[in-house]
Structure 1
């Protein structure tokens, strides 16, 4: 007798910009993903999936619909994902992470606000327990000083993913070393996260950096309605 369909998931291992990625899925949604660098064998991935979900993982050759496109483009916002047994607050944190666009970064305070979470530690714990790494892109989350969190990755994995998305971490780190966190345009009088698509279009002559939102508001600037920086 075969395994009932509700007791098993299928999985594939696909190549990505940061190496191999095991991805498990049910007929309805992706149910887990783990970089191949974090497991020593397919058997280890299967055991991890069983311990987390209670479902057997069976290898297949046909990936979940939309998966290849999501990995190729870095845009998985519309991919069906099942976060499993995580508590509600951690689920909200990871859904907030999913909303960060490709090629952009957000600090933990932004994630906490979007998720209605409490402290930075609550955000970091949810990132650490992220069951769908890379597809829920926690490599796009930083500490308040601009340092990447990378709580769910081995060293180098988050960096490879950010490089593939064209995020200039050297420039961003220099920004943070000066205590700056926001970038305004003296033509529009709007301030953004430095990696916001609108901020990247500000020419050097019209850039106005700020240490925080209060400084920007005192200078007569208003927050971007697209990237919505934290203003309190």
Structure 2
């Protein structure tokens, strides 16, 4: 890129920015240039910068699906995002002020399962992991062993390789890897710093103080003394258990020995 390059890049609010001492570049200028030049749409994606609880989020998309998402935390610039997107997908990323349909609602509610996502080149295991993570409801957490079970991968001694796959998540926030924990309940946060994960979880109503208290006490599941059902602690059903009726369990075997059965909603691993 030379000093005369005047491509439009989003400013802090997602709008176009201008060069030093130059007037602002018109919105979607670069996109309009490509369209006027007749460049085929399949040769480039568009992207916008949006606000989230963890700061700015760059989201790229074709006309049919979202193809990439990366948090601006850590100093990720529009130019760097474009470079990484081109390296991963083979297509250019052009700034725009238009958001993909349904994206703003998905970010506001934490419910992105209905958004069409295209993670790009991915082997079978990686694609399966991304699908499993997408299935975790907003405001809930699941351990790595749960992800392994959902993907059909062996659970014994095979959960840690999942961390590497999560670290390469090309659609952060939209594929909510901040909802994945280690076996002791401590958040995994393979794709970003814990403070970012905490911000995303808190925005979804996850009480991180309580999560850390469970992990320190060894509580992996919560049972209800009235229904005799045990759940992941952040399951919607577990949240309705009143304090006098909560029964903590260190594992599924302990819950089964006490005569409890697994929740059919959050589906904890069997003993």
After TM superposition, is the score higher than 0.5?
A: yes
Residue 114 in structure 1 maps to residue 114 in structure 2 = no
Tell me if 1:129 matches 2:147. Answer: no
CA distance in structure 1 between the partners assigned to 2:138 and 2:84 by the alignment:
28
Q: Which residue of 2 aligns with 1:59?
A: 95
**CA displacement at 1:121 relative to structure 2:** 2.4
Structure 1: which 5+ residue stretches go unaligned? none
Question: What is the rounded CA distance, in whole Å, between the counterparts of 1:29 and 1:39 in structure 2?
Answer: 26
> Does structure 2 retain, via aligned residues, the 8 Å contact 1:39–1:45?
no
Deviation at 1:81, TM superposition (A): 0.3
| Cα distance in structure 2, aligned partners of 1:205 and 1:86 | 47
Whole-Å Cα distance in 2 between the matches of residues 172 and 17 of structure 1?
Answer: 19
Whole-angstrom CA distance in 1 between matches of 2:76 and 2:151: 34
In structure 1, the partner of 2:39 is: 3
Using the TM superposition, give the Cα deviation of residue 10 of structure 1 relative to its aligned residue in structure 2, in angstroms.
0.5
1:84 deviates by: 0.7
1:85 is aligned to 121
Deviations 1:102-127 (A, max 9, x none): 11100000011001124112311110
Determine the C-alpha separation between the residues in 2 that align with 1:39 and 1:87.
Answer: 29
Match of 2:240 in 1: 201
**1:49 has 2:85 as partner:** yes
Q: In the TM superposition, what whole-angstrom CA distance separates every residue of 1:142-199 from its partner, at most 9, and x where no partner exists? A: 0011111111113421111011111112212111212120000011110000000000
Question: What secondary structure, in the 3-state scheme, does the structure 1 residue paired with 2:236 have?
Answer: coil
- Alpha-carbon distance between aligned partners in 1 of 2:52 and 2:226, rounded to the nearest angstrom: 40
- Mapped partners of 2:202, 2:60: distance in 1: 25
Q: Moved runs in structure 1, 4+ residues, more than 2 A?
A: none
Residue 177, structure 1, aligned to residue 213, structure 2: no
What is the rounded CA distance, in whole Å, between the counterparts of 2:80 and 2:216 in structure 1?
41
Q: Distance in 2 between matches of 1:51 and 1:121?
A: 27
Which of residues 175, 178, 203 in structure 2 aligns to 1:164? 203
- Tell me the TM-score normalised to structure 1 length: 0.97
Structure 2 unpaired stretches of 5+: 1-36
Q: What is the alpha-carbon root mean square deviation over aligned residues?
A: 1.1
- TM-score using structure 2 length: 0.83
| CA-to-aligned-CA distance 1:32-81 (integer Å, 9 cap, x gap) | 00111244421111001000000010111111111000001111011110
Q: 2:265 aligns with which of 223, 226, 229?
A: 226
Distance 1:31 1:209 in 2: 41
**Structure 1 equivalent of residue 227 of structure 2:** 188
